Amino acid sequence: MEIIDQVRQASSIVEIASQYTTLKRRGRKWVGLCPFHTEKTPSFTVDEDKQLYHCFGCGAGGDIFSLLMEKENLNFPEALRYLAEKYHIPLPERQRLNPEVLKLEDKLFKANELALGFFRKNLLHTQEGAKALGYLKKRGLDDDIIQKLRLGYAPNSWNALLLFFRDKNVPAPLLEKGGLVLPGQKPGEHYDRFRGRVIFPIFSLTGKVVAFGGRTIVDAEPKYLNSPDTPLYSKGKLLYGLNFTKDAIRDQGAVILVEGYTDFSALLQAGIGNVAASLGTALTPFQVAQALRFAPRLVVNYDGDSAGRTAAARAVPLCLEKGLNVQVLTLPEDLDPDSFLRKYGREKYLALLKKASPGLKFMVEALAREAKMALPEEKGRVVRAVIKEIEKVPDAVARGEYLKEASQYLRIGEDVLRSIIEGQPAGKGTEDEGLICPAEKRLFQILMADRSLASSIFAETDEAIFRGLRGESVFRYILECFKNDRDWNFHELKDRVPQTLLAQLSMAQFEGNPGAGAAADEAQECLKSLRKLHLQNRLKDIQQQIARSEKRGEKDGQDGDMSGLVHAVSLCVALAGPLPGVLVTGWLPQ
């Protein structure tokens, strides 16, 4: 991981952060308005010495890699490569980093670019393409949008693309891996996947062609055809058009989500730039997370027909679970956005957009339509289904507000909804609450500040002491890295721990660290505290087991419980002296 440290040390987090906000020096740190949420008073702080950032308003925080990954939605290798190029740090040969996969990806990217050039030429410079161009013009797309989206045309031929690549000595098996051709009936035979279709290239956020979508103009089935999953593309893991619209989405603070290419193109051409498409009606958690990186609010605007409404209702819970403010816009006359814009125009669309229904309300109404709400049992089923989704909302305040709204939509008392929740195990949303204890926090700071101490910290540490801690996942990640001789980094934690915990860890990194000698001694004190906490938890568990056994009138098996209890008490006393308030009651072994 030496190259990562080289890039980190050569990079300037102040320079990178200044791409997204204006920073002013305040003492040893830099302060500005947070680029992750709207605020009037600056709470975004950058520590140039530690190469860290933290927002005291929304809790966002991390290092220079996570800042770039969050703002540009890059993965770690892409962020590393961007910074290395910007600050002129030579990276090791890519083959040595990941030989086979990276080599294949490079070939597929080049093949996709060549294929796009082929499709573009066929659209703009062939007689057959003129028909496809006429279709696009008839759908209301002008030359500017056709150029911007780099649309093309696949000839209605079984092997036009295959022959094009054959002339360039590109093997058919590679094209098959990229989803451009399909295997024929005989071994070694292949034929074009896209035939007689207007081509919509699908881009990554950095503008690379990862896949294609095609709309038939020869009445073939299916009407729309997309590339299959490939090493470059996984269906449901990206939103179409974000490479064009991410800046507009950030500026507007909201993303309008439509189903497909034509709806996206129509809105973009109408000057409505904060739009993206899910390429189908089944929105995925990956796509919701991607949308959330650029805006806190999402408006689902699928087709107005029954299928579109159903898909919109299914999208709402996914957004609520990710903490995304979601609304639903259903257009009249069962129209899709493209048809509505062509029939009624931009201004009427924007007027309806302002009246979009709250996502929770739309979901409640969708569930109620499928039930006989006059029957208590049916209404109870709907109520519990709504509560189930509200409990997944990560923010406690938002959950409370959603409960108030749900009580109005369902015409049932808020106290009834709360009593149902209290009578159930805590939902996903409540799991993320709570603070790490001081010993966890300090041990985390020490391990992040001086990785050389890990060997002494973990040498005689029983992994069990981390079990049940708020930071259990953090220490297990660091321990896993240590065992595999890998470096551990803050940015890798963002997909492993809840957002509330991530904010605490980010805050912890901003606090000062003692010298190496003091840190080593303090780490041992932290471990001692965590061992004591672990044993105290064991005491509670054993006491509860004994109490349950007593209640059932059982004595069998209590010898083992008691011996475990005595052992735990002995260890606690050895570690920290007598434990006040720990009382062993009930039957004792004779």
CATH code (residue 500): 1.10.860
Most confident of 232-236, 510-514, 582-586: 232-236
pLDDT at 255 over 80: yes
Same domain, 7 and 38: yes
- Looking at 96-105, 501-510, 517-526, which range is the least confident one? 96-105
pLDDT band at 585 (very low <50, low <70, confident <90, very high): very low
* Residue 553: predicted pLDDT: 64
Residue 235 inside a domain? The answer is: no
Tokens 């989500």, located at residue: 257
We report the CATH number of the domain holding residue 23 as 3.90.580.10
| Residue 155 per-residue DSSP state | -
pLDDT band at 303 (very low <50, low <70, confident <90, very high): very high
pLDDT tens sequence across 345-377 = 999 999 999 999 999 999 999 999 999 999 999
Answer with the residue of higher pLDDT: 289 or 304.
304
Residue 586 inside a domain? The answer is: no
pLDDT tens sequence across 526-542 = 888 888 887 777 777 77
Most confident of 2-6, 195-199, 217-221: 195-199
pLDDT band at 582 (very low <50, low <70, confident <90, very high): very low
* Residue 410: predicted pLDDT: 94
Which structure tokens are listed for 9? 């040390």
* Residue 102: predicted pLDDT: 61
Same domain, 392 and 415: yes
We report the CATH number of the domain holding residue 179 as 3.90.980.10
325-359 burial, b at 16+ Cβ within 10 Å, e below that, comes to bbbbbbbeeebbbbbbbeebeeeebeebbeebbbb
pLDDT band at 567 (very low <50, low <70, confident <90, very high): low
In the chain, the percentage of residues whose pLDDT exceeds 70 is: 85
Domain stop point among 62, 91, 120: 91
* Residue 569: predicted pLDDT: 54
> ∠ CA 367-373-375 to the nearest 5 degrees?
135
* Residue 426: predicted pLDDT: 37
* Residue 445: predicted pLDDT: 84
Same domain, 316 and 415: no
CB 80 within 8 A of CB 65: yes
pLDDT tens sequence across 146-173 = 999 999 999 999 999 999 999 999 999 9
Domain stop point among 226, 251, 284: 226
* Residue 195: predicted pLDDT: 97
pLDDT band at 99 (very low <50, low <70, confident <90, very high): low
pLDDT band at 319 (very low <50, low <70, confident <90, very high): very high
* Residue 183: predicted pLDDT: 94
pLDDT tens sequence across 174-204 = 999 999 999 998 888 999 999 999 999 999 8
Measured on CA atoms in the order 96, 97, 98, 103, is the torsion positive or negative? negative
Q: Count how many residues are written for the chain.
A: 590
pLDDT tens sequence across 453-499 = 888 888 767 778 888 788 888 888 888 888 887 878 777 777 677 76
pLDDT tens sequence across 56-79 = 888 888 888 888 888 887 778 888
Residue 585 inside a domain? The answer is: no
d(CA 208, CA 549): 64
d(CA 170, CA 159): 14
> ∠ CA 527-528-529 to the nearest 5 degrees?
90
Q: Give the residues across from 155 on adjacent strands.
A: none
| Cβ within 8 Å of residue 566, ≥6 positions away | none
CB 128 within 8 A of CB 156: yes
Helix (H) or strand (E) holding 328: strand 325-328
Residue 386 Cα distances to 16, 372, 424, angstroms: 43, 15, 14
Any long-range contacts for 242-245 (C-beta under 8 Å, 24+ apart)? 242/73, 242/205, 242/276, 242/290, 242/294, 243/203, 243/204, 243/205, 243/206, 243/207, 244/148, 244/149, 244/203, 244/268, 245/273, 245/274, 245/275, 245/276
Full domain range(s) for residue 169: 98-226
Same domain, 260 and 293: yes
Mapped onto helix, strand or coil, the DSSP state of residue 366 is helix
We report the CATH number of the domain holding residue 289 as 3.40.1360.10
DSSP 81-142: HHHHHHTT-PPPPHHHHSHHHHHHHHHHHHHHHHHHHHHHHHHHHSHHHHHHHHHHHHTT--
Which structure tokens are listed for 46? 């950058």
Domain stop point among 333, 363, 393: 363
pLDDT at 579 over 50: no
This model's pTM is above 0.75: no
- Looking at 52-61, 241-250, 380-389, 428-437, which range is the least confident one? 428-437
CB 535 within 8 A of CB 578: no
Compute CA 210 distance to the chain's CA centroid, rounded to the nearest angstrom. Answer: 19
Same domain, 457 and 572: yes
d(CA 281, CA 143): 28
Residue ranges of alpha helices (H) inside 241-375 are 242-252, 261-269, 285-292, 306-321, 337-344, 346-353, 359-369
Residue 322 inside a domain? The answer is: yes
Q: Give the residues across from 425 on adjacent strands.
A: none
Residue 582 inside a domain? The answer is: no
Q: Give the residues across from 55 on adjacent strands.
A: 44
Same domain, 306 and 321: yes
* Residue 380: predicted pLDDT: 92
Residue 301 Cα distances to 209, 225, 259, 341, angstroms: 26, 21, 8, 13
* Residue 184: predicted pLDDT: 92
Residue 234 inside a domain? The answer is: no
pLDDT band at 114 (very low <50, low <70, confident <90, very high): very high
